[in-house]
Amino acid sequence: MLRYWLIGLTLVVTASTISIALYDPTDGIRPVEDADFYKNGRYPEAQVRLGNLLFFDKILSGNKNIACVTCHQPTLGTSDALALPLGEGAAGLGRERRVVADTPLLGRVPRNSQALYFLGAREFSSLFHDGRVEVDPNGNWESGFWSPAREQLPAGLDNVLAVQAMFPVLSDIEMVGHKGENPVATAVALDKLAGPDGAWALLARRLQAIPDYVDLFQAAYPDIANPEDITFVHAANAIAAFEATAFRADGSPFDRYLKTRDPGHLTRAARRGMALFYGPAGCSDCHSGKFQTDQKFHAIAMPQIGPGKNDGWDRSYWRATGFAGRLEDHGRGRVTGRAEDNLRFRTPSLRNVELTGPWGHAGAYATLEDTVRHHLDPVGALDRYDPARLELAALGTVIEQTAMGSRLEHRPVNPARIADYEKRDRWVQQSPALRQTIAAANQLDPVRLTDDQVDDLVAFLKALTDPRSRDQSNLIPSRVPSGLPVAD
């Protein structure tokens, strides 16, 4: 039976390979062009320059110890080479990043740091793995955007990429730190985001006090007459202008192919991979269009490692260790509140995907090939996934959160119990019940491909790399206006 099935498959593949000569499945895809981007991709140079400096400046973090670039490095595919980032309080960059003794850390950031390529294109109308920042289609929100800040989100943000930039600075684990450590973190813990004592205003005041920034903001935005006119909305718009400009990456072999339709721009393996990708392998059912994403949400049984997002009601970790923790991450479901959206994540763009590993929303896979193979047999791969093989730096000093909202407090985890605490980040993967939940939500059907075909798919994915994106160290400023260190 299996043999007949395999012969059938071979015939299908052969037939489709032959038909490629007549019908190119990428025919409907137009090359990347200026019109795909907000403002046609052209931002005033002064805004881009300002955004570049802000992106690298630790002044935007509560304890002045981390910048956007720490997790989005222009030499590491705009990510950080870690499965799960170590946020504020840790030190070092990329794989060298470590927890520092005596600096309390809440743990690892629950999701893999996303790449930033092409996000200035209009079709990216929602951001984050779960799309919790979105263009508001119904005009219900004054700001024009749906976001976790709801009615506190100010007006005047240029686009959804600028909206996104309002949020990392509010995240305790990423940038702002913990209640009591600095006034911005305390404001966030009290849910004071907007208004004159809100977190954004406190950060803007830091910028207003630095003369170099005042000059830069005035050059970028004519509506700023006095330092007090600088708001965090200006900063977010400038950061978005920088990201949209610096991380547009349409110089890949695939782009040259789309522009000229000359197959010579792709290796033979990449051409075979492209035919599979947009054909029988079914990849383009979700990774469609020029950026290889339908901008929608799907559950594909990706392994989940890390502390999760406090979703679900499973208490097995708590019962086994005594530490609090609802360790699931329900992805899109936690934004829409609809059960059918649970465990769905946004289809990532595959542009420059070769450079952005580890892969998956929790960085579970260390190689691109394993990531592709996961798709061929999602539930089987989830079951076979061995979290013990995953490289995670030791946590060392950690603190525990003991309550929410205005009563939020932290206390150090007893060092003798760190091993139990460390179990948390591999727990979901090791719990058969939790794995079953992820498997049950899966929407991706298995596909049977030969090893050669997998190689061809990976060759195609590598043809999506813009060679200029391999090393954008030219973006690293020699100094930033706050005078805080740039290089670590």
Judged by the rule CB under 6 A, the positions of this chain that interact with ligand HEC are 60, 66, 68, 70-72, 85, 87, 109, 111, 113-114, 116, 119, 127-130, 161, 164-165, 168-169, 174-175, 239, 281-283, 285-287, 298, 300, 302, 345, 347-348, 350, 353, 356, 359-361, 368, 371-372, 375, 443-444, 457
The smaller minimum CB distance to ligand HEC, of residues 321 and 443, is found at 443
CA 486 – CA 488 distance, rounded (Å) = 6
**Nearest approach, Cβ of 268 to ligand HEC (angstroms)?**
18
Q: What is the dihedral of CA 461, 467, 471, 475, to 10 degrees?
A: -110
If the CB atoms of residues 446 and 467 are measured against ligand HEC, the closer one turns out to be 446
**Minimum CB separation from ligand HEC for residue 111, in Å?**
4
CB closer to ligand HEC out of 173 and 419: 173
| Pairing, β 399-401 against β 410-412 | antiparallel
CA angle 98, 243, 299 (to 5 degrees): 70
Residue type, 440: A
Work out the burial of residue 350: count CB atoms within 10 Å of its CB; fewer than 13 is exposed, 13-18 middle, 19 or more buried. buried
Beta-strand relationship, 297-298 and 345-346 = antiparallel
When the beta carbons of 179 and 298 are compared against ligand HEC, the nearer one is: 298
Q: How far is the CB of 457 from ligand HEC (least distance, A)?
A: 5
**Closer to ligand HEC by Cβ: residue 177 or 325:** 177
For ligand HEC, which is the closer residue by CB, 427 or 460?
460
CB of 225 to ligand HEC, least distance (A): 26
- The verdict on whether omega for the bond into residue 477 sits within 30 degrees of 0, i.e. cis, is no
Q: Which residues contact 218 (CB under 8 A, 6 or more apart)?
A: 224
Q: What are phi and psi of 408, to 5 degrees?
A: -55, 125
> Minimum distance between the CB of residue 289 and ligand HEC, rounded to whole angstroms?
13
Q: Nearest distance from residue 10's CB to ligand HEC, in Å?
A: 18
CB of 75 to ligand HEC, least distance (A): 16
* 124 three-class SS: coil
The closest alpha carbon to 298, from 129, 436, 136, belongs to 129
Q: Which is nearer to ligand HEC, 420 or 486 (CB)?
A: 486
